Every structure is written in structure tokens, then in C-alpha cells.
Chain A
Amino acid sequence: GAGVSQTPSNKVTEKGKYVELRCDPISGHTALYWYRQSLGQGPEFLIYFQGTGAADDSGLPNDRFFAVRPEGSVSTLKIQRTERGDSAVYLCASSLTAGETQYFGPGTRLLVL
């Protein structure tokens, strides 16, 4: 079946702009996770949803970052007033339920100029 998909695959924006990154999880997966990966590093946890609710947002770096999952499927990561330090690959993963194996999408490469 289809895996996790993310759009766009690449996003270039200017400092101070607003961006939205989208994640479509594997069908039937109730848990969804966002991670951020900088060059040469492993992914870092941002936020996790069980169903529609954010069960753990302890990894969000500041209040410029926000994520939603209104219908318990697709999720959108929103970044306000982007900064050059936000440049990274944003990865989405989903699992059948919390605690099960997480399967990752291809990522969105964000570049803030």
C-alpha cells in the first residue's frame, strides 16, 4: 500500500514568511509524528498526535511552530515568521497506534533565505 507522503518535497522561502508543510499518513494509522533533521544529524522530535489531538508537543522549539490534524488523518505543520535557522528537512512518520513502529515519509526540505 501507499506509504507516508509529504508535500511539498522542497520549499524555498524568505526570512519572515509563513510556511505550511503537509503530511498524509499511511491509511489507518492513528498516530502521527513530526521530526526535524539538520544536515549530518539524526531526526529530532517535534510533536506527536494520537487521533486529532496533540498528545506531546514538547519538541516544538518555540511558539512560531504549530501543527494540526483536524480530522485525524492529514496533518499540517505551520511555521510563522520563518528564520534562517529553521532550514532543515522536516520528516513526518505514522504508526498504527502509539508505540508501534514508526514509518517515515520522504521529508520536506525547507530552505529559508
Chain B
Amino acid sequence: EDQVTQSPEALRLQEGESSSLNCSYTVSGLRGLFWYRQDPGKGPEFLFTLYSAGEEKEKERLKATLTKKESFLHITAPKPEDSATYLCAVQGRRDYKLSFGAGTTVTVRA
């Protein structure tokens, strides 16, 4: 069974204070690793897909990286609008469902 563990559960940052979120995973053949952002009361919003170890993707202040066992989401010089829960999910080669972690809730104070 595919498993995803995210840490920390919560992260409080000062505006401009860079940090990283961790996503550790086990999967029987990785099809893709996905990062989503979820605001309170909303559905998950797609951010990135990573397919193979060594791959990196960037969007504004966010950068996602992937190894064979974990992924990191780096937030550089965050702003209050980056406050959200960040979800990591894996999709294995056996099926098409996403297996999610519990998320990391990021709060950025001005």
C-alpha cells in the first residue's frame, strides 16, 4: 500500500523567512508525485508534478524537488498569502488514485 508522511504538521513563519516542507513516501513504482495547496473551505489546488528523482520545478516563491524516498517543497521569502495547507500525494504505476499525506499547515505572519 502506498504511504505518504508529511512533516512538520504545522509551520509558523515570519514574512521573508524561508523554510522547507518534507514529504516522505513509499510506493510500488512511482508514476508521479504531486503537490497541492489547499485554502480553508476550498478544494486542493494543483501546484506541481514530479516524475523522477532529481527533478525540480519552480513557481513564484515555491520550488519542489524529488529524491527516491522524499520530496521537499521549499518556500523562499514567503508572504502572508502563502499561508495555506500544502498536500503531497503519490500515484503508483498500478493504479490512478492519489494517496495523500495529512498536509503541512503553513502560517506566514506579516
* In the bound complex, CA of A45 to CA of B4 (Å): 14
Interface size class of A (residues with CB under 8 A): 20 to 34
B34 near A42 (CB under 8 angstroms)? no
Which residues from 57 to 73 on chain A have a C-beta closer than 8 Å to any C-beta of chain B? 58-59
Q: Given A101-B34, A101-B46 in contact, is the A45-B102 Cβ separation under 8 Å? A: no
A82-B26 Cα distance, complex, nearest whole Å: 34
With A99-B31, A101-B34 given, is the CB distance from A43 to B46 under 8 Å?
no
Contacts of B42 in A (CB 8 A): 106-107
Interface residue ranges of B27-76 to A (CB < 8 Å): 31, 34, 36, 41-46, 49
Give the total of B residues in contact with A, Cβ under 8 Å: 23
Q: Which residues of chain B come closer than 8 Å to A105, judged between CB atoms?
A: 43
In the complex formed, the residue of B with least CB distance to A89 is B43
Shortest CB distance A24–B (Å): 13
Question: Known interface pairs A101-B46, A106-B42. Does A42 touch B97 (Cβ–Cβ under 8 Å)?
Answer: no
* Beta-carbon contact of A42 and B103 below 8 Å: yes
Contact with A along B91-110 (1 / 0, CB 8 A): 10001111111110000000
Residue among A41, A59, A106, A107 making CB contact with B97, cutoff 8 Å? A59
Distance between Cα atoms of A85 and B72 in the complex (Å)? 33
Q: Are A42 and B43 in contact (CB under 8 A)?
A: no
A33 touches B4 (CB 8 A): no
Q: A99-B31, A102-B46 are in contact. List 10 more A-B contacts (CB 8 A).
A: A42-B89, A42-B100, A42-B103, A43-B89, A43-B100, A45-B99, A55-B96, A99-B91, A101-B34, A102-B98
Chain B residues with a Cβ under 8 A of chain A: 4, 31, 34, 36, 41-46, 49, 87, 89, 91, 95-103
